[in-house]
Chain A
Amino acid sequence: MQGIAQPYHAAPAPRVQPGDEVIRISGMSAGYEEKVVLSDIDLEVRRGEVLALIGQSGCGKSTLLRCIAGLLEPLDGDVVVLGRRLPVRDESERRKLLARMGMVFQQNALLGSMTVAENVALPVLEHTSLGHEISRQLALGKLVQVGLDGWGDKLPAQLSGGMQKRAALARSIALEPELLLCDEPIAGLDPVVASGIDRLITSLAHRLGMTVVMVTHELASIQTIVSRAVLVVDGRIHAVGHPTELARSTDPKVHAFFHRVPPDEAAAGSSVIEKLEES
């Protein structure tokens, strides 16, 4: 069916060819105000990959994802996404690039004043001339794809956490993007729902030919759906590889992450009695 089943782009845009790079980052550093969070980041992501950015809380994974999404300007280095070097200053070119990407936020970021269907239709209305009726038709179809048939006219607050996540996913794929970014897509969800979201992301990625970059620290996700993982430690890329290989690594930090080894308690500092006895 024209305009819905076929991939649609608001304007002709160069598509990345199979096998080539979707993301290339070289020598990048990034941070907030005076604090540098990421240093010397070099990363390539190829078309069709499902890549996970993993690491402990506060290591810089979400910052890296925000740089790729164009939400945070790097302090240094190059970030090239879908053949465009960031930041794209020209508004028209930036809109074209963003229409080729979709993002799922950790808190879903559904607009609370709109129904679920209106949320999903929003990027379609913004980037196409399909009009309200077709956009709604498309949105309802996307909601069926993510298992939310019949929930289109509800407000986001009326949905459970897992359902909101599905709705956010439907919105992120509304324009059939080439690149999907997910910030902790299964955080806070129970294992059954989380597994469903993982499966959904994988099947949509395969069906739509998307490249997926996700921030996660869920080992189950990493080991079942991810084709390559990047371990970030203290703002730097520490290890890259297939999850199975990384899980067998003898590197202490990689081993600690994959085998859930807690940090050494001695690193916490002297206790009150130790301080008295060392005086």
Chain B
Amino acid sequence: MDGAGPTIVMERQGSDVVVRVSGDLDRHLTADFVRRLMAARRQGAVVWLDLAGVGVMDSMGAAALELGCRRLREGGQQVRLRSASEAARAAMRSLPAVDAGAETGRKTGLLESLGGAAFDWLAAAGSLAQLVSEVAARGLLDPFRGRFPALASSAREAVRIGVDAFPVVALISLLLGLILGFQAAHQLRQFGANIFVANLVGLGMVREFGPLMTAIILAGRSGSSITAELGTMVVREEVDALRTMGIDPVRYLVVPKVYAITVTGPALSVFSMAIGILGGFFIAITFLDLAPGAYWSQIQTAIDLNDFGHGFGKSLVFSWIVVIVATYYGLHIQGGAVGVGRSTTASVVASIFMIIFADSIFTTASTALG
């Protein structure tokens, strides 16, 4: 076997064509073999295969030959065996002839795909709404029924979701404050309005960037972790085990996380606001030569309770979005370990999208209401 590939010789015999294949038909074949066989297309009503010259042949060679023959048959030609070596017969006997094209299924058109996607989206929205209602029922109503929340597990979740996120939130908020301050300073200095850097940084962090960046960090850090944890539990049948023990998975797994993020999400946001304002302060006193007292005085003038309430309210809603979306994707995992990875990514993307969507609604409503 010299690696040059089998030779194919074609000869017309009346209205038929004889295809003589010589050489080895084994794993060293390339896809070009089938293309070369297709030269017999429309050369005759019947294609006679002469495989007497085939040396080594295995199931890979048989599969390539079967594919070529199938394509010739689809073109309306008959394919028959004239002769074959023992090796060729043995290889062709060992491999079932399967219609490989039938396995891929029917192709769906664009409208059908869009319709299917719309139905899937509606079903997902329904499942999400159901999860929200179950969480609300367990989280809000259970205490009135004498079923008190598992405070120990809520506290553990608060540490995992929130407390452990303080360092990264602090760092990113400080950098954000520095960036905001620097960008503002660059413009305001041209107009001699240096003092308003406090307004820009303060209002920006309190009303928008504090809650928004905190929520995005929570989605990427804590949301992905929640999805992976719950998804793995689903794959390992642990969620089913809870159900068979009469333990409601929503009450046991989801509600403690909701309690935890209700406390830690807004706390992290307030922390982010403060650190971001501090970042702006560094820029104000170093780059703009503002007096420290002037900066803090201006911050107090610019930010009122209404602004703080706006930011705090957003942070609460964003936190709930993170935990609900993460638990939804975790509890609806499909496809084993691969599904866990896929769902983790999807939950982060969906969370961020919904956070920004919610932010746009908040901002529009706040502007409209003055």
Interface residues of A (CB under 8 A from B): 69-71, 91, 94-95, 97-99, 101-103, 105-107, 109-112, 122-123, 126-127, 171, 181, 268-277, 279
Contact = CB atoms under 8 A, between A and B. Distances in A.
A97 to B, nearest CB: 8
A94 B338 CA distance: 33
Given A112-B232, A269-B98, 16 more contacts: A70-B244, A71-B240, A71-B243, A95-B246, A103-B244, A105-B240, A107-B236, A110-B238, A112-B238, A123-B246, A126-B245, A272-B62, A272-B69, A276-B80, A277-B81, A279-B78
Interface string B221-245: 0000000000011001110110111
Interface stretch (B3-11, B87-95, B162-170, B255-263): B87-95
A71 B247 contact: no
Interface in B92-124: 92-98
B244 A272 contact: no
A268 B96 contact: yes
A275 B241 CA distance: 50
A100 to B, nearest CB: 10
A98 B94 contact: no
A275 B78 contact: no
Given A109-B238, A271-B92, A273-B92, A123 B62 contact: no
B97 A107 contact: no
Nearest to B245: A123
22 contacts: A70-B243, A71-B240, A71-B244, A91-B248, A98-B243, A101-B244, A110-B241, A112-B236, A122-B245, A122-B247, A269-B96, A271-B94, A271-B95, A272-B66, A272-B69, A272-B92, A272-B96, A273-B81, A274-B93, A275-B97, A276-B49, A279-B78
A279 B79 contact: yes
Closest 9 CB pairs of A and B: A98-B246, A109-B241, A273-B92, A272-B92, A95-B246, A109-B237, A276-B81, A275-B97, A103-B244
Interface residues of B, number: 33
B131 interface: no
Nearest to A183: B237
Nearest to A275: B97
B81 A274 contact: no
Contacts of B81: 273, 276-277, 279
Nearest to A95: B246
A276 B66 CA distance: 9
B248 to A, nearest CB: 8
B65 interface: yes
Contacts of B66: 272, 275
B93 A271 contact: yes
B240 A109 contact: yes
B235 to A, nearest CB: 9
Interface in B30-75: 49, 62, 65-66, 69, 73
Given A103-B241, A271-B97, A127 B246 contact: yes
